[in-house]
Amino acid sequence: MLEGFEELVLEIKKRDVKRLFIQVPEGLKTRIQELANSFEGQGIVVVISCEPMWGACDIRFHEAGDLGCDAILNIGHTDFGVKSPIPIFYWPFRLDFDPIPVLESSWKKIERFKSFSLVSTTQHIECLDVIKVFLEKKGKVVLLGKPAISKTHGQILGCDQAAALDEKADCILFVGSGRFHPLGIIRKTEKPVFVLSTDTNSIEDFSKERERFYRIKFAQIEKAKDGKNFGIVVSSKPGQMYIKQAEVLKNKLEGMGKKAWILVMDFITKEKLMGLKLDVLVNCACPRLDEDAHLFGMPVLNPEDVGKLSEVVVL
């Protein structure tokens, strides 16, 4: 059985849960039926949500309540602070990984730096203490920053990179898989960013992606300047529901002579925009949506980009 699962079952049974609504990220769906069977073996009816689940900002308590569920189990994330009328259990689902062989084999790539900001996601957060000891034995200064939203030092989210942004650090070392979280970091800092990859068992310099990101962002803003019809997207997900910000941006765009409409949806896709005459999307949902602009066939701006529409670029 997976680490922490037995304790989780006991905690849920203490709350006298009869029907449990489970949310699971796509990467863990291969295990969900096994987990559901284990709960049902304890006399708990399980309802599995098959909707995409992007984080602890995406709690489907309305669905859970309508289905008569007593509690929600969010797998793969930690508490985001979303208020819910139904009890929520968070199971971070830690993954075992030994970072020391990777550090030893790739040490020359990072040995020139004197101080490191160490960060990871909840799945590999326990690796940070091991890496801290390794680096300090090498005479390095190690910083585990405080997140803005998360509760664990050194933890980052897709929308919270604060733990990585310590000014005292010479570079940032992210531990984990994929490109999503390192891309979030390079958006917020000019410092070197390295990835200790749990996929490739190597340390990769991710800093080169920064120039590509800025080039794409600049092109998006320049193209949006010619746009006339703007759709301001708000998500109905409880942790992404920024309606007041959308109203402010609508007034701002209309003050620039643009036409703007506030659009609401849960999972934001191009198909849901079919039939609408739009030139530009302004994102008041997940702050990382602009990275998927290629999927929408039009520029996608974040709120901070709107003010740049009136800027004149001098070449």
Instruction: State whether 290 and 218 are in the same domain.
Output: yes
pTM of the model: 0.86
Q: Which domain holds residue 115?
A: 100-206
* Cα–Cα distance for residue pair 97/123, rounded to 1 Å: 10
Given 67, 91, 115, the domain boundary residue is 91
**Residue 77, domain CATH:** 3.40.50.11840
Instruction: State whether 190 and 221 are in the same domain.
Output: no
**Residue 149, domain CATH:** 3.40.50.11850
Give me the pLDDT at residue 250, please: 97
Query: Number of structural domains, the chain?
Result: 3
Instruction: State whether 185 and 113 are in the same domain.
Output: yes
**Residue 315 within any structural domain of the chain:** no
* Cα–Cα distance for residue pair 313/223, rounded to 1 Å: 13
Instruction: State whether 265 and 195 are in the same domain.
Output: no
Instruction: State whether 246 and 265 are in the same domain.
Output: yes
Instruction: State whether 137 and 150 are in the same domain.
Output: yes
Tell me the mean pLDDT per 10 residues along the chain, length 315: 75 93 88 90 94 88 95 91 92 89 97 98 94 97 93 91 95 94 94 96 94 93 96 92 95 97 94 96 92 92 93 50
Given 187, 206, 225, the domain boundary residue is 206
